[in-house]
């Protein structure tokens, strides 16, 4: 039996990924001694918080079948499966070099890319009638973080090569 997911379920997972991202940035900020670097990581945590609000609003805007699970799932296994993936695949289970901001940014970039890969993979699991078009909006939001992190990483590399 294959599982299909509604846009609502995907947005719930997106929210969990963003919560995990905020935790990731706050935790790494605790391990950074440089005040400006700490501030920057906390700003990224705040961006994840804003992302969470965005996804929450998008989920709230869903109507009709986009909120309904297309799979008979009396034990809520599909949601548990999605939550487990969100908890383990994107912002956790990564070896992060917390001794350098460059290492932290590289890990964050990898996590953001993993989230996009995950959402792209979910594309085949959401039928058109259940809000498949909403997935493109999630990916677009995640790409914003990649651009920001890439810019910061490039600036760090330029600064260290001087």
Domains of the chain: 7-160 (1.20.1260.10)
Residue 73's SS3 state is coil
- Ramachandran sector of residue 18 (left: φ over 0; alpha: ψ -120 to 50; beta: rest): alpha
Q: Is the pLDDT score of 158 beyond 80? A: yes
Q: What separation, in Å, do the N-terminal and C-terminal C-alpha atoms of the chain show? A: 57
Percent of the chain at pLDDT > 70 equals: 73
Q: pTM for the complete prediction?
A: 0.74
DSSP 87: I
145 sits in which H/E element: helix 134-160
Residue 68 token pair: 């309904």
Percent of the chain with pLDDT over 90: 12
Radius of gyration of the chain (CA): 17
- 73-78-80 Cα angle (round to 5): 120
Burial of 77 (0-12, 13-18, 19+ CB in 10 A): exposed
**What would the mean pLDDT of 62-73 be, rounded to a whole number?**
62
The pLDDT tens digits of the residues spanning 28-41 come to 899 888 888 889 89
């Amino acid at each position: 039996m294959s599982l299909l997911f509604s846009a609502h379920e995907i947005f719930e997972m997106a929210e969990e990924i963003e919560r995990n991202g905020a935790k990731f940035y706050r935790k790494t900020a605790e391990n950074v001694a440089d005040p400006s670097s700490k501030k920057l990581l906390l700003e990224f945590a705040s961006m994840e918080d804003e992302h969470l609000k965005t996804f929450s609003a998008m989920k709230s805007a869903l109507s009709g079948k986009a909120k309904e699970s297309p799979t008979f799932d009396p034990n809520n296994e599909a949601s548990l499966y999605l939550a487990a993936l969100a908890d383990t695949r994107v912002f956790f289970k990564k070896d992060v070099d917390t001794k350098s901001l460059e290492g932290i940014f590289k890990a964050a970039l990898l996590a953001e890319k993993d989230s996009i890969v995950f959402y792209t993979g979910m594309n085949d699991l959401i039928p058109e009638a259940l809000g498949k078009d909403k997935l493109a909006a999630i990916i677009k939001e995640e790409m914003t973080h990649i651009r920001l992190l890439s810019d910061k990483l490039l600036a760090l590399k330029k600064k260290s090569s001087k």
